Structure 1
Amino acid sequence: MIRKLLLTLPLLLVLFGCSDFLKKTPPPPAQETAGPKNKEEAQALIRPAIEPLRKTMQPGGPGISEAERQQVLLALQHAIVTYGDNQYGKEVLRDLGYELQDLARQASAQERYRLVLICIEASNLLEVNSAYLKRAGAQATTMLQKPMVSVKGFMDDLETKQLTVFLELTDYFTGKIDRVQAREGDEFNNLRLVRVIGRNKSVLFEYLKVPGLFFEVQSFAP
C-alpha cells in the first residue's frame, strides 16, 4: 500500500505541475494583419501608380509614352493584387477610380483622346462603372479612328483641268498607311476632300463620322 502511494505521488505532482504550467502559459501573440495600417500609409503605397497620368495633365506637362502607359497598368494591377483585400487599400483604390474619371474628363476637354482611353483602360482594372466613361470612350475611339493625313503632292490634269492630290493616311490603331489619290469631292476612309486652299498651300477635309467636323492639313508638312 505504501509502495503504491509512493508511486502515485510523483504522478500526481507531474499532473498538477503540468496543469499549473498550462494555466500560466501566456497565449501566443496575435499576428499583425499584413498591409497598410491606415489610409495614409495605403495612399503612400498606392497613389504613385498613376503619377505619370497626373504629370501629363499638368500645364505644359509631357505626353505619356507607351512605356509609361504599361507602367501605370502594371502598377495598378500590382496594387490591386497586393492591397485589394486590405480595408485601407480598398478605400484608396476606390479613390483612384474617381481620380481617373476626373483625369479622363480633363483629357476629353483638351481633346487628348489617347489619354482619355488610357484613363479608361486604367479605370477598367479598378472596375469603375461610369456612364460618363463609356460616353467619353466612345467619343475618343471615334475621334482616333480619323486617319492621320499627310499631303504628299499634287498633279494637274491638263485635259480635264482637275487637280489630283496625293495623300498618305495612317490608321492610329494599326499604324497601317494607305496611299490615296483624290480630287475635290472624293470620299475615302471616312473622309471627304473638300477643297484645295490657296496655291496648293493646304487641303481641307471633312471627317464623315462626325458630320460638320472639318480640318485643314498643310501641304508637305513633315
Structure 2
Amino acid sequence: MYKKLLYTILLGIFIIGCGGEPEEEVKEDDAPPPPPPPTPEQVAVKIVDDLQLNAPNPPIGTKIDPGVAGNMLGIATTQKVQLSATEDGQRALAIVSLKVDSKVRQTYNNELWSFVLVYSDIHGILNPGSNKFNAERIRSIAELKRPIVVIKGILHDAATNRTTAQLQLTFPLEGRTITESMKQGDVLHGLRFVNVIGSSQGIVFEYVETGESFDVLTKAASR
C-alpha cells in the first residue's frame, strides 16, 4: 500500500514537471499599431490614376469612348461624396482638381473637343457652381456640332456666274447624314460657301458659329 501511494505521488510530480511554464497572455497593448491612414497626396495619386489624368493625349480628332467617359464621371462623383466630409479628403480633392484643370487646357489646345467636355464636367463635379471653363465648353460643343463635309460635285453656272456644289453633310452629334446642294455665297446648316479652290479642286467654307474657315478638297484632289 505504501509503495503504491509513493508511486502515485511520484507520477503526479512527473506530470506537473512536464507541463512547462504557462503561456503568457498577449496584452492588447503589445499588439502592433494599425498603419497610419493614407495622406491626402496618396489619396490624390490613386484618384488621378483612376481618372487617367496622367495618360498622354490622343491624336487630334479622337473622340472619347462614352463608356470610359461615364466611368470617369462616376468615379469623380463617388470620390467627391466620400472625401468632402474631412479636411484631408478636401485637400486630396483640391490636388485632383488642379490635375483636371490642366487636362481641360491640354485637350482644348489639342482640339480634343469630346475630352474637353468630360474633363470640364469632372471639374464641375469637384467644384460645384464653377463657371471656370464655360468658354471652353461652348467652343467644344460648337465644334462637335460642325457638319463633316464631303464634296460630291462642283458645277459652275456660266449664266449666273455662280458655282453650285453637291455636298454630303454628316452631323456627328445627331448621327445622321444628308445630301444638299449649295451655291457659292449661301449659308446652309451653319456653313458658308466662301469660294472654290483652284480649278474645282475643293471649297473654302466658313463655320459661322466660330467664324473659322476650313478647306475641303474633292476626292480627286485629295489623292
The 3-state SS of whatever aligns with 2:54 is helix
**Aligned counterparts of 1:199 and 1:128: Cα–Cα separation in 2:** 54
Partner of 2:50: 49
CA separation in 2, counterparts of 1:94 and 1:111?
26
Once the two structures are superposed, the pairs formed by residues 55-74 of structure 1 within 5 Å of their partners are 55-57=55-57, 64-74=64-74
How far apart in 2 are the matches of 1:36 and 1:139?
42
- Change over 3 Å in CA distance of 1:156–1:176 after alignment to 2: same
**Which runs of 5 or more structure 1 residues have no equivalent in the other structure?**
1-25, 27-31
Report the counterpart of residue 81 of structure 1 in structure 2. 81
> Partners in 2 of 1:58 and 1:144 — Cα distance?
17
Indicate how the Cα distance of structure 1 residues 37 and 110 shifts in structure 2: closer, same or farther if over 3 A, else same.
closer
Q: Deviations over 1:26-54 (max 9, x none)?
A: 9xxxxx9xx95422442243222321x43
Mapped pair 1:170 → 2:170: yes
Unaligned runs of at least 5 residues, structure 2:
1-27, 29-33
Asked if the contact 1:145/1:171 (under 8 Å) is kept, the reply is: yes
Partner residue of 2:12?
Answer: none
Q: Would you say 1:204 and 2:204 are equivalent positions?
A: yes
Instruction: Measure the CA separation in 1 of the matches of 2:122 and 2:98.
Output: 11
Structure 1 residue identity aligned to 2:216:
V
Q: Return the alpha-carbon distance in structure 2 between the equivalents of residues 119 and 141 of structure 1.
A: 13
Q: CA RMSD in A?
A: 3.1
- Code of the aligned partner of 1:81: V
Highest CA radius of gyration, 1 or 2?
2
Q: Which amino acid in structure 2 is aligned with residue 47 of structure 1?
A: V
**Residue 5 of structure 1 aligns with which residue?**
none
Bigger Cα displacement from structure 2, 119-128 vs 188-197? 119-128
Other-structure match for 1:148: 148
Q: CA separation of 1:128/1:96 partners in 2, compared to 1, >3 Å: closer, same or farther?
A: farther
Q: Aligned partners of 1:130, 1:57: CA distance in 2, in Å?
A: 25
User: What is the SS of the residue equivalent to 1:125?
Assistant: helix
Q: What amino acid is aligned across from residue 178 of structure 2 in structure 1?
A: D
Percent identity between the aligned chains? 22
Higher mean C-alpha deviation, range 166-175 or range 39-48 = 39-48
TM-score in terms of structure 1 length? 0.70
**TM-fit CA distance, 1:152:** 2.3
Q: Distance in 2 between matches of 1:109 and 1:134?
A: 15
1:120 to partner: Cα distance: 0.7
One-letter amino acid of the counterpart of residue 218, structure 1: L
Instruction: State the partner residue of 1:18.
Output: none
Instruction: For 1:126 and 1:190, locate their aligned partners in 2 and report how far apart those are by CA, in whole Å.
Output: 34
Q: Secondary structure at the match of 2:49?
A: helix
Number of aligned residues = 187
Segment of structure 1 superposing worse, 185-194 or 108-117: 108-117
CA-to-aligned-CA distance 1:129-159 (integer Å, 9 cap, x gap): 5443122222222333322222222345576
Q: 1:108 Cα shift?
A: 2.0
Shift of 1:199: 2.8
